[in-house]
Structure 1
Amino acid sequence: MDHGVGATVAGRYRLLGPLGRGGMGVVHEAEDTRLGRRVAVKMLTAVEGLAEDGEARDRFLREARALARIDHPGVVTLYDAGVADGTPYLVMQVLDGLSLAELVKRTGPLPVPVVALIALDVVRGLAAAHGSGVLHRDVKPSNIGINRGGHVVLHDFGLARLAGERAITRTGELIGTPQFMAPEAIRGVTPSPAADLYGLGACMYLMLTGELPLGDATVDYGAIVDRALGDGVPKLCERSSRVQGAPAHLLDLVDRLCAQDPADRPQHTGATEELLERYADGGREALAALLAGQVRDEAVRSLGEQTAVAEEPEYDWEEAVPHPRAAPADPLHPPTLSEATRRIVLSSMTPQSALSRQREAVNLVLRGELQEAAQMLAAVVPVCLSSLGPTHPTTLISQYWQAVCLARLGAGDKAVELLARVNRHVDQRRGSER
């Protein structure tokens, strides 16, 4: 089955481009042509080849229905599921923002209230899932999304269960990430809710220290597994001097969540929630401020890139379109939506479609969806500059709205600089028309 840009899944979901790639498959941004909305479509290519009426297909759909029953703001919403030409797929809400992996990569260790708030939201999402009889089975930073409002959403629930043994056989690998995978799951023991809590503890370790729980990711896969099954995650209580300002009770919680024996981990989420609530005061606002800062910085960086683009020769569309299978993603740090959206736009846009894309971005600005608008304009403007020129009306209007975005994101100085540039080109255009 064709999973490239422009392909349609199940006669309904038109693929716009890849958002990320992992061991289980590829996630695409897509348009639901029936309802006219953006969605994320995950193609589980690790288990492609399912018969239309086989037992594996029936089990997949049963598990998908179980996922759809989870109704909680901290759990990604599943809209649809099915099998298209033998490949299972899931249709979910698009998670705008950053993953926890990307946030820590950019900022380093997070403040205690932010750590407690993120962990609290994850615990509540897991509690809702466990109450519906669903285990996550792969709690890790790249599966924890955070939007600009500071809201935390878990995704990729239950993929190990959805895929079953078939995926392990086909890929020859563990389903999961050893850095954040409970030791019993690595050994092949049927996981319990305690395995998901282990993943949470490992994520908290990363948030507090800025370090991977089992050491450098460049260490070979086997060595990471040996550490996971051997000494395990280092005790934070024994290295409290490395975690500035973190209360002992919080460090102790991380150590208990990361215990090798599942029986030694907290058995109920209630006490864990209560402890996290104690330290999460102000965390939502602080997290939202961190995300807003990252969005603003990304918008400013993209503005700087346009100066070089404006001086380049006319855009070579054949050379510029990235191959959808190029450059496999880092499994711990998948592409952010910003990077993915820019790639999507550049791979599907022509000079002729720049105006319609610009109008989409303006509508996003007017609706207050500034992150998505900034990402769209960051892709549209370089194309306009290189293919239409710096004084073309579409270029100038796109840059004007990009300046509006920058101003609303808090980068007023950059907005003023860009508006001054736009005004110079407007004057130049008027002069040439006289």
Structure 2
Amino acid sequence: MGEELLGGRYRLVRLIGRGGMGAVHEAVDTGLDRRVAVKRLLAAGGPDSGSTALRRFQREAQALARISHPGVVHVYDSGVHEGTPYIVMELLDGVGPAALVEGHGPLPPALAAEIGLGMCRALAAAHTAGVLHRDVKPTNVTVTRAGRVVLQDFGLARLAEEQAITQAGALLGTPQYMAPELIRGELPGPEVDLYGLGACLYLMLTGTLPLGADAVDVGVLVERAVGPGIPRLAERHGSGIPHALAHLVDTLCGQEADRRPAAADVEGLLAGLPTADDQRALRELVARCVREQAVEFVYSPPAQDSSVPEVLDWAAIPGPVPATPDAHRPLTLSDGTLQMMLSGMTADNARSRQREAVNLVLRGDLQEAVRMLTAVAQVCASALGPDHPTTLTSQYWQAVCLARLGAGAEALELFSRVNTRTEQRRGRDHD
């Protein structure tokens, strides 16, 4: 029996992440032979949460369909499969601002302003289309290897002409990046998105969370957000941040919503900064971060857990994923997800996945290829042996990925290891 296709077309490959409303999978569009991201609705909670989640899910699809801009994730399709709604979107490569900060500390003002400018252009397009994002934060932004800044996850979006969808007692969003008026329950306007932009710029410029890393309790975060607020950048001496940029961030993060400039005005201010024109440096930083993630993934992959059930379908990766929406962790396979993938893979479908991964390498989808090849190599080493041709072939293509990502020394070491094992195998075969 063949693998089940979502909507008769999309084959799920791996779980990327899970939030309060939906789970996002990497998938293959079998009709067009391309990789996509598929978001599926997960209704949970009280008696009314299912209908509320469904309305928000539908609103997200409508919001994305309204906006046509390179800075907003593209939506390709939507539908319902066995009663579960889904949205099909482009699959983004690259990393988020939080991963850049985690790996390299505060960003140079030029690069932070470049990312902020891309975010601002996306917000301007959304606001022009009558869409409020309402959840602007670093984990909802991706900077691709081509330097494209993309805003995603419109799960809390609101259309200008529609009433807000609310739940009693629910705080929707992330307090570290939520505008104080949104926390107070006031009717949101475009200014809430500009506050989120300012808070993201604060993180990128300082390397610290806007309301402090010591505030792990939501109540403390809320008190700080509606009280003293985000510390002023203009008062930080010796930071190296241009005064105009620091003043802009302070204005965006201010308590007074009516004093925050519109997205189009912020775009003009950022574009006018002498530091805000460094696409090449941004691409180099993203490439470096992607390279470091790939090396870590190849050389220090999550260990296989023998306690995971042995019979699991590769295409259906169920189970809970740790909810860390604001963790500064790269968007990679979680340990649990990789373990499930490993336990559900046989030698036969590992070879099939290996061929699929090689095609990704040849197409230049190196981040996805590294993840898949790592899972295949682990399964084959365990089931077939470290010297089996399928294991060695997977490791060879892992080395190709590292080389193409610029990790020459690590790639050479892996090539050498594969070559040594191959020669040893040939010697044993000839004995």
TM exceeding 0.5? yes
Match of 2:279 in 1: 284
Match of 2:396 in 1: 400
Secondary structure of the 1:130 match is: helix
Contact 1:43–1:89 (Cα < 8 Å) also in 2: yes
How far apart, CA to CA, are the structure 2 residues paired with 1:50 and 1:263?
34
Shift of 1:94: 1.5
Contact 1:345–1:380 (Cα < 8 Å) also in 2: no
Contact 1:19–1:335 (Cα < 8 Å) also in 2: no
Cα deviation 1:121-162 (Å, max 9, x = unaligned): 000001111111111111001101122222110001252438
The answer on 1:331 being equivalent to 2:325 is yes
| Pairwise CA RMSD | 3.3
Secondary structure of the 2:398 match is: helix
The answer on 1:192 being equivalent to 2:186 is no
> For the structure 1 residues 50 and 72, does the alpha-carbon distance in structure 2 shift closer, same or farther, using more than 3 Å as the test?
farther
How far apart, CA to CA, are the structure 2 residues paired with 1:85 and 1:166?
25
Shift of 1:41: 2.2
Cα deviation 1:217-262 (Å, max 9, x = unaligned): 6531011111111111111111233x3x210110000000011111
Contact 1:47–1:166 (Cα < 8 Å) also in 2: no
Cα deviation 1:341-393 (Å, max 9, x = unaligned): 85674364322211111111221222222222222222221222121112211
Cα deviation 1:88-124 (Å, max 9, x = unaligned): 4322112222222222222221111110010000000
Match of 1:260 in 2: 255
> For the structure 1 residues 102 and 346, does the alpha-carbon distance in structure 2 shift closer, same or farther, using more than 3 Å as the test?
farther
Identity of aligned residues (%): 54
How far apart, CA to CA, are the structure 2 residues paired with 1:85 and 1:404?
40
- Determine which of 346, 349, 353 is the counterpart of 2:349: 353
How far apart, CA to CA, are the structure 1 residues paired with 2:310 and 2:344?
13
Cα deviation 1:292-314 (Å, max 9, x = unaligned): 112222222233337x98xx9x9
How far apart, CA to CA, are the structure 2 residues paired with 1:317 and 1:188?
43
Match of 1:177 in 2: 174
Shift of 1:29: 2.1
How far apart, CA to CA, are the structure 2 residues paired with 1:76 and 1:410?
27
Contact 1:139–1:196 (Cα < 8 Å) also in 2: yes
5+ unaligned residues in a row in structure 2: which ranges?
Answer: none
The aligned amino acid for 2:421 is H
Secondary structure of the 2:167 match is: helix
The answer on 1:149 being equivalent to 2:146 is yes
TM-score w.r.t. the length of structure 2 is: 0.86
Secondary structure of the 2:273 match is: helix
How far apart, CA to CA, are the structure 1 residues paired with 2:338 and 2:147?
23
Secondary structure of the 1:240 match is: coil
The aligned amino acid for 2:280 is E
Match of 2:235 in 1: 238
How far apart, CA to CA, are the structure 1 residues paired with 2:94 and 2:53?
34
Contact 2:109–2:241 (Cα < 8 Å) also in 1: yes
How far apart, CA to CA, are the structure 2 residues paired with 1:268 and 1:398?
47
Shift of 1:329: 2.6
- Determine which of 120, 128, 132 is the counterpart of 2:125: 128
Secondary structure of the 1:196 match is: helix
Looking at secondary structure, tell me which structure has more helix per residue: 1
Which moves more between the two structures, 422-431 or 22-31?
Answer: 22-31
Match of 2:293 in 1: 298
Secondary structure of the 1:402 match is: helix
> For the structure 1 residues 26 and 111, does the alpha-carbon distance in structure 2 shift closer, same or farther, using more than 3 Å as the test?
same
The aligned amino acid for 1:305 is S
How far apart, CA to CA, are the structure 2 residues paired with 1:388 and 1:196?
52
How far apart, CA to CA, are the structure 2 residues paired with 1:184 and 1:34?
45
The answer on 1:213 being equivalent to 2:204 is no
- Determine which of 296, 318, 327 is the counterpart of 2:309: 318
Secondary structure of the 1:318 match is: coil
How far apart, CA to CA, are the structure 1 residues paired with 2:4 and 2:49?
21
The aligned amino acid for 1:19 is I
Match of 2:406 in 1: 410
How far apart, CA to CA, are the structure 1 residues paired with 2:49 and 2:80?
9
> For the structure 1 residues 18 and 123, does the alpha-carbon distance in structure 2 shift closer, same or farther, using more than 3 Å as the test?
same
How far apart, CA to CA, are the structure 1 residues paired with 2:70 and 2:10?
24
- Determine which of 219, 240, 247 is the counterpart of 2:242: 247
Match of 2:358 in 1: 362
1:85-164 alignment to 2 at 5 Å?
87-157=84-154, 159-161=156-158
Shift of 1:18: 2.0
> For the structure 1 residues 274 and 317, does the alpha-carbon distance in structure 2 shift closer, same or farther, using more than 3 Å as the test?
same
Shift of 1:164: 7.7
Contact 1:355–1:394 (Cα < 8 Å) also in 2: yes
> For the structure 1 residues 24 and 7, does the alpha-carbon distance in structure 2 shift closer, same or farther, using more than 3 Å as the test?
farther
TM-score w.r.t. the length of structure 1 is: 0.86
Contact 2:59–2:158 (Cα < 8 Å) also in 1: no
Contact 2:234–2:250 (Cα < 8 Å) also in 1: yes
Secondary structure of the 1:406 match is: helix
Secondary structure of the 1:98 match is: coil
> For the structure 1 residues 424 and 267, does the alpha-carbon distance in structure 2 shift closer, same or farther, using more than 3 Å as the test?
closer
The aligned amino acid for 1:324 is P
